[in-house]
Chains A and B, each alone.
Chain A
Amino acid sequence: MSAPLKTPRPDHLGWPAAVIFFVCTVYVQLMVWLALWAGLPTALGMTPTLILSDSMKPFISAGDVVVIGPVGDAPLKRGTVVTFDDPAQPGNLLTHRIVERNADGTYDTRGDANADEDSTPVKHSEIRGKGRILVPAVGIPVLWIRTKAVLPLAAWLGGLALALAYLSAQRRRLLALTGALVAAARGPWLRDPGARRPGRMRTAAPKLASVTLPALVVIVALLVPRTLASQAAFAANRPNGTNAFAAASSFCTPASFTLVATADARVEQARPTTNYGLDQALNVVSRTLNVNGGNGDHYTLVRFDLPARPAQCTMSATLRLHPTTVTAGRTLWAGRASATWAETGVTWNTSPAIEGAVASLTTPSTLTPFNFDVTTQVGAHYAGTNTGFLVRDSVSNNSNGNQQQIFVSREGAVGSRPELILTFS
């Protein structure tokens, strides 16, 4: 039989203390359950992921833990929240929502709070997992540690310490009281070991209180090394689109030149060692050479200084000679001289010949300028050496009398001198 108690039973509290006890227990238990929700799924192969920023608000905030589960190979649906290796910032993890699945199998993602989609699509293989469980706020103390937020951290730790201290104090008080009661209740039976002992006074409170703290420690120890930290990066972009560049249809800067000869001379077969470079007449004659000398062919040599050739242009070139005497119906040839020559030194014997293609012309009966299309020949000048032109009758030593053309040389009247007209377009 037990002594009557005048004080409340040891496992009972007055209501103010009961409220405080209730609040402290809930405060500690809340964190235990939150931590359990974040940590226990590890046993099922899931991974807790701490969210570091607010770009997935309003659903997911910094400090939340998203527990991600594995993704298979099947394509993921729009709206799925996934954690992936950030292709835009190598080394970081990103937790965003899938907005679209692209034809090439990649995904377009976006933070719910971002105005723009992430600019780099994500490959399926870069995805670490998809969101399964969202445990709000449980990671906030870790954020405080990362951002060195001393005040909130101290306040929270202080509150936790106070609550645990209060719970622990109540436990100690109960244990002390319970121990005295058991001793008192046990007393009469101590000398009779065979007698039935009363049931041990149940003390559920101390058991639970002593379980809470170790549980918290175990969960934190489980969680911390396994938790990933995921940046939910804010992003915004300003595209400057459709910059257009078009090349001109022709890269040629058109130009025209009318050049006057810088060297010219005739050479005479019957006077093979005589230079006529300073004479005012240039001859093209085809005539039989006399056995005793005299008559014979005459050729004309003419040269122009060429300007720098404009790039990317099509060129046309015309050699123009102004006649003072014409013989109609002759076929004349103008061609590139095969070697260089000096105006005041060249003679029949030292004269070059025509090299390559010839420009032909049929002589008219009137004294109109003779125009030879020497485009090919000038091209050869530009490609090689500017040797000038040689103009001759197509027939050598014609036997039908004196077939002659006479032109004004560069020593003659202005306006009648030999010209080269170049057009670049």
Chain B
Amino acid sequence: MATSLRKLQFGAAAASFLLVSLLVLRVSSAAFTAQTPNENNAWSAGQVALSDSRGSGNAMFDVSGMVPGQTVSRCINVTYTGTASNARVRLYAPTVTGTLASHLNVTVTPGSFSSHTYPNCTGFTASGGAAVNGMALNTFGATHGSFANGVANWDTSGSPQSRGYRFDVTLSSGAPSSAQGTSAGATFTWEVQTYVP
């Protein structure tokens, strides 16, 4: 059956215009309607994720009775388990509190483990120099407190992929007697973000 070309053209234009406009309006409304994001809405494509060797424990350090010159060490293994190929991992200290923090010197050295029992450092081998070398804990928090100025930058090259970290925390030998009985608290966070290559 013969069909008017003109009618076809107009029909096609109208149909596609309606289609597109309805689609745009619908998805715009869905995306931009103010809503509370679902906490568990994890998508499978290009996801990033980290795990570490703590298991069920939380903090690496819980030390008391420190005297000047004393060093405590802990080692931890961090693993990238995401699917995104352009992933970058950094370490930073978002929260540092307490007056003792200015007398605690922190050294963080990345490396790898031949074998690892958290939090021991047996089996750890450093690779390259320290990412943080004897920096006061309060300075660490002030200058490396977010991903943007995080340390120990690690661009992953596969998944799963692991990296070990050794933390040495020393109470400075020059700590004054006013530091006796004081304390400090800190959070060390590893974060992975995708980046534009």
Known contacts A22-B11, A120-B147, A240-B76; is A136 also within 8 Å of B61 by CB? no
Q: Which residue of B has the minimal Cβ distance to A235? A: B193
Cβ of A59 within 8 Å of any chain B Cβ, yes or no, is yes
Least CB distance from A375 to B in Å reads: 18
- A87-B148 contact in complex given A59-B30, A81-B31, A205-B9, C-beta closer than 8 Å: yes
Question: Does B142 reach chain A (CB closer than 8 Å)?
Answer: no
In the bound complex, do residue A89 and residue B193 qualify as a contact, i.e. CB atoms below 8 Å apart?
Answer: yes
Distance in Å: Cβ of B86 to nearest Cβ of chain A: 9
Considering the chains assembled together, what is the distance between the CA atoms of A197 and B51 in angstroms? 83
> Does A311 contact B21, Cβ atoms closer than 8 Å?
no
Give bound CA distance, A195 to B67, whole Å.
115
From known contacts A15-B1, A29-B12, A134-B28, infer whether A99 and B183 are also in contact, taking CB-CB under 8 Å: no
B117 close to chain A: CB less than 8 A: no
Q: Per-residue 0/1 for A15-53: is the Cβ within 8 Å of any B Cβ (1 yes, 0 no)?
A: 100100110011001101110010000000000000011
The answer on a CB contact under 8 Å between A234 and B63 is no
The answer to whether the Cβ of A57 comes within 8 Å of any Cβ in the partner chain is yes
Is A13 part of the contact surface with B, judged by Cβ < 8 Å? yes
Chain A residues within 8 Å of chain B by Cβ, number: 84
What residues of chain A lie closer than 8 Å to B193, measured between beta carbons? 88-89, 233-235
Cβ contact within 8 Å between A240 and B3: no
Q: Give the shortest distance, in Å, between A98 (CB) and chain B (any CB).
A: 9
- B188 at interface by CB-CB < 8 Å: yes
User: Would A30 and B16 count as touching, CB distance under 8 A?
Assistant: yes
B190 near A240: Cβ-Cβ < 8 Å: yes
A8 touches B34 (CB 8 A): no
**Complex Cα–Cα for A62 and B192 (A):** 19
Q: Which residues from chain A contact B42 at a C-beta distance below 8 Å?
A: 113-115
A239 to chain B: which residues have CB within 8 Å? 94, 187-189
Q: Answer whether A247 and B37 are a contact pair too, CB < 8 Å, given A208-B9, A242-B185.
A: no
**Pair A243/B62 contact, Cβ less than 8 Å:** yes
CB neighbours (8 Å) of A110 from chain B are 37
Q: CB-CB < 8 A to A52: which residues of B? A: 196
Q: Which residue of B lies closest to A21 (CB)?
A: B8
Given the complex, which residues of B lie within 8 Å of A99, measured CB to CB?
Answer: 37
**Most central of A87, A97, A208, A236 by chain B CB within 10 Å:** A236
A-B residue pairs in contact (CB < 8 Å), sample of 10 = A11-B6, A18-B8, A25-B13, A26-B16, A29-B17, A55-B46, A112-B41, A132-B32, A245-B186, A247-B181
Known: A240-B52, A251-B179. 12 other contacts (CB 8 A): A12-B2, A13-B3, A25-B16, A29-B17, A53-B46, A56-B31, A81-B31, A115-B39, A205-B6, A234-B84, A239-B189, A243-B188
Nearest 3 A-B pairs (CB), nearest first?
Answer: A79-B34, A113-B43, A25-B12
